[in-house]
Copies of this chain bind each other. A is one copy, B any other.
Amino acid sequence: MAPAKGIMERLNAGEVVIGDGGFVFALEKRGYVKAGPWTPEATVEHPEAVRQLHREFLRAGANVMQTFTFYASDDKLENRGHKQSYTGAQINEAACNLAREVANEGDALVAGGVSQTPSYLSCKSEADVKAIFKKQLDVFVKKNVDFLIAEYFEHVEEAVWAVEVLKQTGKPVAASLCIGPEGDMHGVSPGECAVRLVKAGAQIVGVNCHFDPLTCVKTVKMMKAAVEKAGLRAHYMVQPLAFHTPDCNCQGFIDLPEFPFGLEPRILTRWDMHEYAREAYKAGIRFIGGCCGFEPYHIRAVAEELAAERGITPPGSEKHGMWGAGLEMHTKPWVRARARRDYWEKLKPASGRPLCSSMSNPDSWGVTKGHAELMQQKEATTKQQLKELFERSKTH
């Protein structure tokens, strides 16, 4: 059973499409994804956990179930000694099945996703890199996903290659870079990136991951302005972090010293998400979702903020109530006194960490594509390699 309306029909009709949140961070916290490799073998090892997370995002209001195929290319799956019991094809197939199963439980589309490859960072040829995308794509075609997303690319060149491969299917293609206002890792501006992606055939362009919501919205605005200036047409998407990142440089949250195991104090509240959803909507972005750090309640907040525009409240709101209304039932009167929009909109939440600062100095090693240390390595990182890195990190 395919959903009634495709992604292009919805966007062309001016509808707001709510995306889901990031799976690797959410499932890492639940115990099914390993931070470091960040690969999605959970689709075969623990399908019940992946299915449950899909369900929660659906319940939160998501219209898109992205297949949990992040980093599911064979070159990445076995990077640096990360042994796998399953092939890339098995992992990708299982991901498609899970996404479709849950999508059918509601009004959601299945999007097959590919992302950046170690091969590109290792300076492999265009043909080699495209062959990797093609392999994942074969599964998506077989499983008949509803549309495709090329996401989490640091270099627009690789994203263009991905779009070119994905376009061959005839399915709608979205392309999403993990860049900020300073542009991609080669210094190509967001506007220029977007123009190239649209010219390559992407119908939807935008950014995901690496930066906080308002920074991402700002970046997509730059994309939109450039696409329009070039006389092109596209739809726009945004799937940011659920972490505040005012102190990032161009590499995004990867460079923050807190990445990935100390990001808790940066997690956005649901009220931050209301602001994000409103700003994204006002910017003309109509595919609005999330990435790393998003939990189901964050997506629900996006859906609640846009409930009037969409004419629908997500199923999960039965256990919420707008703007904290559920607190009217709290036992304590001073908590009932917080059952109002005004209270939560103005709240500036304290960190509870008086020994910690509000910003960090990001690492800035200046290491980019082509540098030896970014090369693909099948063997585990050696003790000697680690020792050298530890020393180096102390002098930065």
Residues of A within 8 A of B (CB): 28-37, 48-49, 52, 55-56, 59-60, 79-82, 118, 121, 212, 243-247, 254-271, 295-297, 300, 315-316, 318-321, 324-340, 343-344, 347-361, 363, 365, 367, 373-374, 380-381, 385-386, 389-390, 392-393, 396
Q: Is the CB of A349 within 8 A of B264?
A: yes
Q: Is the CB of B386 within 8 A of A328?
A: yes
Q: Is the CB of A355 within 8 A of B351?
A: no
Least Cβ–Cβ distance between A198 and chain B, in angstroms: 28
Q: Is the CB of B359 within 8 A of A354?
A: yes
Q: Is the CB of B321 within 8 A of A34?
A: yes
C-alpha gap A207/B297 in the complex (Å):
29
Q: Is the CB of B333 within 8 A of A365?
A: yes
Looking at A56, A60, A350, A354, the one whose CB has the most chain B CB atoms below 10 A away is A350
C-alpha gap A191/B105 in the complex (Å):
53
Report which of B297, B350, B359, B374 forms a contact with A333, defined as CB distance below 8 A: B374
Counting every copy of the chain, the complex holds: 4
C-alpha gap A267/B349 in the complex (Å):
12
Knowing A296-B30, A327-B36, A389-B336 touch, does A348 contact B358 (C-beta < 8 A)?
A: no
C-alpha gap A261/B352 in the complex (Å):
15
C-alpha gap A233/B298 in the complex (Å):
46
Q: Is the CB of A356 within 8 A of B350?
A: yes
**Residue of B whose beta carbon sits closest to that of A361:** B355
**Extra 18 A-B pairs, beta carbons < 8 Å, given A246-B354, A265-B353, A355-B359:** A31-B297, A34-B329, A36-B321, A36-B328, A79-B331, A255-B334, A259-B335, A262-B349, A265-B267, A328-B386, A333-B374, A334-B365, A336-B385, A340-B390, A349-B356, A351-B351, A355-B360, A355-B361
Q: What residues of chain B lie closer than 8 Å to A327, measured between beta carbons?
A: 35-36, 260
Report which of B262, B295, B340, B354 forms a contact with A357, defined as CB distance below 8 A: B354
C-alpha gap A55/B48 in the complex (Å):
10
C-alpha gap A260/B332 in the complex (Å):
12
Q: Is the CB of A349 within 8 A of B258?
A: yes
Q: What residues of chain B lie closer than 8 Å to A29, measured between beta carbons?
A: 295-297
Pick the 8 closest A-B CB pairs, nearest first: A244-B352, A36-B326, A31-B316, A337-B393, A266-B352, A262-B349, A354-B359, A337-B389
**Residue of B whose beta carbon sits closest to that of A71:** B331
Q: What residues of chain B lie closer than 8 Å to A343, measured between beta carbons?
A: 393
**Residue of B whose beta carbon sits closest to that of A295:** B29
C-alpha gap A263/B334 in the complex (Å):
17
Q: What residues of chain B lie closer than 8 Å to A33, measured between beta carbons?
A: 319
C-alpha gap A263/B350 in the complex (Å):
8
Q: What residues of chain B lie closer than 8 Å to A267, measured between beta carbons?
A: 264-265, 267
Looking at A261, A267, A270, A386, the one whose CB has the most chain B CB atoms below 10 A away is A261
Knowing A34-B319, A35-B327, A321-B36 touch, does A337 contact B52 (C-beta < 8 A)?
A: no
